[in-house]
Amino acid sequence: MMAAERLPGWLESLPKLRGRMQSNAQLAPFTWFRAGGAAELLVRPADADDLATLLRELPHPVPVQVIGACSNLIVRDGGLSGVTIRLARGFSTIAIEANGITAGAAALDVTVAEHAAAAGLTGVEFLSGIPGSIGGAVAMNAGAYGGDLASVLDWAEIVTRTGEQRRLPAQQLAFAYRHAALPAGAVVTRVHLRAIPGAAALIATRMAEIKSTREASQPVRARTGGSTFRNPDGMKAWELIDAAGCRGLTRGGATVSEKHCNFLINTATATAADIEGLGEEVRRRVLAATGVTLEWEIRRIGIPGGRPEMVRQAVAEAAPDAAPEGGS
């Protein structure tokens, strides 16, 4: 059931924004998987003030989702009810400062790393190996290649679900593995990352190493969503998946990557149900073979559009995964 059916007239009651609003907006073109349904209403706020106006005036029962680069996200085929917020141009500014970098939540991780390198700043090279945007990186404490957001974040600015703009120091976010304790419904809008002067040649070498390693080990040119499952304590998810015989496993138009089996790939025709259903099949086989229950790292949102038996378990688990609002 869509939000308009639950709360008649909510669309007409929205405030006038400087940003863009689009009804029944197809989301598949935004996602790295290139699959999924439509947003009942897609809003691209002009800036943090515009976003605050929207959230302050939006009736509380209307559901809100936030998307960013959509690099680690499955949007289910039935789409998203209520308001989907996509942070774009007004949230992508990057500024080099004496003690680090200020970046908007829509700035891509790799772009932030490149700006830092060009300015001779070190400490954030690891971001060049993480697909996605800064807002999503904060929301899930993204990390790779020896670094994570918790190790470099000074503060994050947010807009709460009630439209209040706040700046939170890093210690208030209680970072953990792939988790940040953001207030419920909060949207990350801007951050400050620590970085220090470094040798340009060493920074360039490190970023080249990260790029080479990533391209050699991951299907970076495929329609994928990054690492599918979190690494269990002391174990590697890909090793468990391989041990369960899932490398190359297919369902519909989705397949487990032969190159790195913690990646799912849309071979061109996959629906979101194919992709999520394949992930659930991998989880089932790994549990049966190893006794380990894999936890999703990819965020899964929205309404199943068909073949619901494939996503029944995932839907039951969706509530804990819905907390981050930084935009994936």
Q: What is the mean pLDDT of residues 259-271?
A: 96
Closest to 132 measured CA to CA, from 87, 96, 164: 87
> What pLDDT score was predicted for residue 89?
87
Residue 219, pLDDT above cutoff 50: yes
Indicate whether 195 pLDDT > 60: yes
Confidence band, pLDDT 50/70/90 cuts, at residue 325: very low
Residue 139: what pLDDT? 92
Does residue 221 carry a pLDDT above 80?
Answer: yes
Q: Which residues are catalytic?
A: 178, 227, 297
Q: CA-to-CA distance for 190 and 196, rounded, in angstroms?
A: 20
pTM here? Answer: 0.86
* More confident: 114 or 6: 114
Q: How confident is the model at residue 47 (pLDDT cuts 50, 70, 90)?
A: very high
Q: Average pLDDT over the chain, rounded to whole?
A: 90
- Considering all CA atoms of the chain, what is the largest pairwise distance in Å, rounded to the nearest integer? 60
Q: HSE of 298 in the Cβ direction (CA atoms, 13 Å)?
A: 29
What pLDDT, in 10s, does the model give residues 129-153? 998 999 999 998 998 888 999 999 9
Using an 8 Å Cβ cutoff, are 138 and 146 in contact? no
| pLDDT value, residue 111 | 97
Give residue 7's pLDDT. Answer: 67
The confidence score (pLDDT) of residue 231 equals 93
What domains can be seen in the chain, in order of their start residue?
3-89 (3.30.43.10), 90-216 (3.30.465.10), 227-296 (3.90.78.10)
Determine what percent of the chain is predicted with pLDDT higher than 70: 91
> Is residue 215 pLDDT above 70, yes or no?
yes
Residue 168: band (very low, low, confident or very high) from pLDDT cuts 50, 70, 90? very high
Provide the pLDDT confidence category of residue 5 given band limits of 50, 70 and 90. very low
Mean pLDDT of 69-78: 94
- What's the pLDDT score for residue 327? 53
Secondary structure of the chain as H, E, C letters = CCHHHHCCCCCCCCCCCCCEEEEEEECHHHCCCCCCCEEEEEEECCCHHHHHHHHHHCCCCCCEEEECCCCCEEECCCCEEEEEEECCHHHCCEEEECCEEEEECCCEHHHHHHHHHHCCEECCHHHHHCCCEHHHHHHCCCEECCEEHHHCEEEEEEECCCCCEEEEEHHHHCCECCECCCCCCCEEEEEEEECEECCHHHHHHHHHHHHHHHHHHCCCCCEECCCCECCCCCCCHHHHHHHCCCCCCEECCEEECCCCCCCEEECCCCCHHHHHHHHHHHHHHHHHHHCCCCCECCEEECCCCCCHHHCHHHHHHHHHHCCCCCCC
